[in-house]
Amino acid sequence: MRLVVSTILLWVLCGLAVSQSPDSDEALLKKTRALYDAPFTRNLVSFDCSVQFDWKQHTINLLGTIPPALLPTVQRLQAVQHRVFVDRSGATVSALPKAPDFAGDERATQLEQVFNAMASQGFDAWLPFSTNVILPMGTTKFSFQESNPGYKLTMSGPNVAATLLLDSDLRVTSGVSHLPQDLRFTTEFRPGPDGFLLQSVRTGSTSGGTGRDATFAYTYQVVQGFQLPLEVTVSPATTEPWKFTLADCKVVSGIVIHVASPANPK
């Protein structure tokens, strides 16, 4: 699943396109970009929060009960405190005040590693939308084509080929990438005070069925004027969902320098 998330980040950062009229494409892209709540394109530099996870409930959801032999492991895991640091480059989940010592409990060590991976992926899947790099940037080639009921946004670049579908209100509804890897995803957004907020993104291979998809879902909280995740639910293709709650969030904000992108290249 990390490969799927990483692939989204790679192709949206590399860029993509084709044409209608460069001027009208640029105007429509500008209008589209302004409709989304992407806090990292404003003054948000980074944030860090405590990550709360209910190991007991997760185990019950997975197994139906907590086997007596597993209870000590669950208690050890529940005692560990975590924080996540998120900036434009990604998310880092850390145990506080230091990495836990599970005294030879190999199962606890493995579950702690899975927890860190799931939490990191939940935030990494949110980043392309919170930075607006899901839309063309820089020297990316792109074109909008009318497609009932909205638009098809085609993008192309070195080792990249992808298409986004947008609804009539310019919400991204789905995307397909053929390079650097076959990938498809669908998205849901809801209106927020500062623009469209990502509610969920489902990812999978273009050759796989929907049963093999991974889904990431988000609710939000206001922290120092920014809409940041409150609850993150990661639903892998093969296991029960992992649901995290963020609390005690601290924000670093500052001036963001915007570099004007050149006209849509031919």
Residue 262 lies in a domain: no
- At 17, the pLDDT band (50, 70, 90 cuts) reads very low
Residue 263 lies in a domain: no
Residue 260 lies in a domain: no
* Structural domain containing residue 79: 2-253
Amino acid letter, residue 69: A
In which residue are the tokens 């409930």 written? 57
Residue 266 lies in a domain: no
Task: Give the full edge-to-edge strand order of the sheet including 195-204.
Answer: 90-96, 81-87, 44-52, 242-253, 226-235, 214-223, 195-204, 183-192, 172-179, 160-166, 150-157, 141-147
What integer pLDDT is reported at residue 125 of this predicted model?
A: 93
Residue 127 lies in a domain: yes
Percentage of the chain beyond pLDDT 70 is 84
- At 158, the pLDDT band (50, 70, 90 cuts) reads confident
Residue 264 lies in a domain: no
- At 3, the pLDDT band (50, 70, 90 cuts) reads very low
Please tell me the least confidently modeled range out of 39-53, 71-85, 173-187.
Answer: 173-187
Please list the alpha-helical segments (H only) found in the chain: 2-14, 22-34, 55-63, 71-78, 106-130
- Interval 26-52 mean pLDDT: 95
**pLDDT, tens digit, for every residue of 112-153?**
999 999 999 999 999 999 999 888 877 778 999 999 889 999
Indicate whether 20 pLDDT > 60.
no
Predicted TM-score of the model (pTM): 0.84
Indicate whether 14 pLDDT > 70.
no
Residue 180 lies in a domain: yes
Count of domains forming the chain:
1
How is 206-257 classified by DSSP, letter by letter? TTS-GGG-EEEEEEEEEETTEEEEEEEEEE-SSS--EEEEEEEEEEEE-PPP
Cα–Cα nearest to 169, from 20, 34, 24: 34
Residue 137 lies in a domain: yes
- Which distant-in-sequence residues (6+ apart) come within 8 Å of 109 by Cβ? 102
159 vs 151: CA distance, rounded Å: 24
Coil, helix or strand at residue 33: helix
- Which distant-in-sequence residues (6+ apart) come within 8 Å of 145 by Cβ? 18, 20, 151, 152, 153, 154
Instruction: Name the DSSP class of 148.
Output: T
Structural contact between residues 194 and 209, judged by C-beta atoms closer than 8 angstroms: no
Indicate whether 211 pLDDT > 80.
no
